[in-house]
A and B are shown apart, each in its own frame.
Chain A
Amino acid sequence: MKYQKYPKLRLAFLISLAFFALMPLLYTIVNSFSDGSAYALIPSRLSLQGYWEVLLRRPHYLKKFWNSLILCVAIVAGQTAVSCLAGFGFSRFRFPGKDVLFFLVIIVMMMPYQVTLVSNYMILDRMGLVGSWFALVLPAIFSPFGVFLMRQVFDTCPNEFLEAARLDGAGSFRVLFSILIPRSRSGLASLVLLTFIDAWNMVEQPLVYLNDPYEYPLSVFLSQMNQGNVGVLCTCGVLAAIPVLLLFFYYDEDLADGIALSQIH
């Protein structure tokens, strides 16, 4: 009952918090209509120069957008497949060293990416993959977070379903693709969304593994936002926000369920 005191005050406080959270996005959208001279809360002169430059005048920005999109699709597809298979293995099979292996997965998940950057570079260099997109996609596919998430999600499926399927003659793959994955839609949605955002925002990996600036994704360009025309930079920011927002609106109902299922607190 005490939480129902001062409802208007609490509402005003929450609105002001939401405003501060949304402020950078609003600022980017507003400044994408700037004539490019300086950042401002409200641009002194409105212009579509940024949109003309990014969408029509130069193909460089859209090339980076497509680079980002192709990389993200490859990483999300690969990581989803690998995570489902590995999560299934950890969740439903008994084998020696299973707990130790899963503990190692969790340890690797806790490591910052920079820890393995040099060793990854050396391995990829030996494989002759530095300079190609495989250098970005391959390490990202084998994500310990995805394995952990999918194992937790698969663990929530009652054994009775699986036993019934096995009695009907279903093999392991049939059980995975016909029972576990359809029952884990919310977990998969979380995995797809979080992986996409992670891949969409990567900056260090392209800088380290790629040599040709034309191969860089949009995130690398956005990380250098302190240089250049304000209108162009903010238009690129808007462009970068669109796929993530669309994906979020598509999966928002599943996201909370998926994270709750994985028991991440």
Chain B
Amino acid sequence: MTLKKKAVLWIGGILLVLLAVCSFLSNRIYFALLPQVETYRFISTVTPEDELQYWVPEECIFPNPNDTSDALLYRVRERRGPFEMEYYAQSIEVNVLEEGRQGKVQVSGPTLGHHENLIRSFTVPFADGEAVEWVNPGELF
């Protein structure tokens, strides 16, 4: 093997190791810099007559920047990330029907699941579909 080939092998090996280290670090940095969100566990108690209307805490209501509905709810979902599973925020368009009953708001919108984790607070603003760090995944109520 010529000296040139040896040098290329060494450079290639060193670059691969560096890129592997960078991959590990970037994964850590990515998760460390995600917006942290706290959720409210919404448990559906609706009947078939009013299944598209439900009460949610005021802090779960976010303004809709697109004016396609009165407001947005964000629920936390899980998906495959670059190297591991990650949580992300998914928006739900809702219209506000009634406000201010014991800190809750009645909204109408798509049917929610029986258990939904609605975002109620966050550290950094996020967009629909953006990955987030869910700080209270194990909290039931």
- Spell out A's residues near B (CB within 8 Å): 55-60, 62-63, 65-66, 212, 214, 242-243, 246, 249-250, 253
Contact = CB atoms under 8 A, between A and B. Distances in A.
Interface stretch (B19-27, B65-73, B97-105): B19-27
Contact of A249 (B8, B27, B80): B8
A214 B19 contact: no
Of A58, A62, A253, most buried by chain B (CB within 10 Å of CB) is: A62
Contacts, number: 47
Contacts of B11: 246
Main secondary structure of the interface of A (DSSP, over half): helix
A249 B81 CA distance: 35
A156 B106 CA distance: 82
Contacts of B23: 59, 62-63, 66
24 contacts: A55-B19, A56-B22, A56-B26, A56-B29, A57-B33, A58-B26, A59-B26, A59-B27, A59-B83, A60-B82, A62-B22, A62-B23, A63-B82, A63-B83, A65-B19, A214-B80, A214-B81, A214-B82, A242-B15, A246-B8, A246-B12, A249-B8, A250-B12, A253-B2
Interface in B1-57: 2, 4-5, 8-9, 11-12, 15, 19, 22-23, 25-27, 29-30, 33
A63 B19 CA distance: 10
Instruction: Provide the main secondary structure of the chain B interface.
Output: helix
Interface residues of B, number: 21
A196 to B, nearest CB: 13
Contacts of A55: 19, 22, 26
A231 to B, nearest CB: 16
A57 B8 contact: no
